[in-house]
Amino acid sequence: KNEVEQSPQNLTAQEGEFITINCSYSVGISALHWLQQHPGGGIVSLFMLSSGKKKHGRLIATINIQEKHSSLHITASHPRDSAVYICAIISNFGNEKLTFGTGTRLTIIP
Partner 1 sequence: SAVISQKPSRDICQRGTSLTIQCQVDSQVTMMFWYRQQPGQSLTLIATANQGSEATYESGFVIDKFPISRPNLTFSTLTVSNMSPEDSSIYLCSVALGTRSGELFFGEGSRLTVL
* Contacts with partner 1, residue ranges (CB under 8 A): 30-31, 33, 35, 40-45, 48, 50, 86, 88, 90, 96-98, 100-103
Q: How far is the CB of 47 from partner 1 (least distance, A)?
A: 10
- CB 78, CB 110: distance < 8 Å: no
For 81, phi then psi, to 5°, come to -80, -10
**14 DSSP β-pair partners:** 109
Q: What whole-number distance in Å separates Cα of residue 67 and Cα of residue 79?
A: 32
Q: How far is the CB of 101 from partner 1 (least distance, A)?
A: 6
The residue among 11 and 31 lying less far from partner 1, judged by its C-beta, is: 31
- CB 35, CB 85: distance < 8 Å: yes
The residue among 2 and 64 lying less far from partner 1, judged by its C-beta, is: 2
The residue among 18 and 55 lying less far from partner 1, judged by its C-beta, is: 55
**1 DSSP β-pair partners:** none
Q: How far is the CB of 31 from partner 1 (least distance, A)?
A: 4
Q: How far apart are the first and last CA of the chain?
A: 36
Q: How far is the CB of 67 from partner 1 (least distance, A)?
A: 20
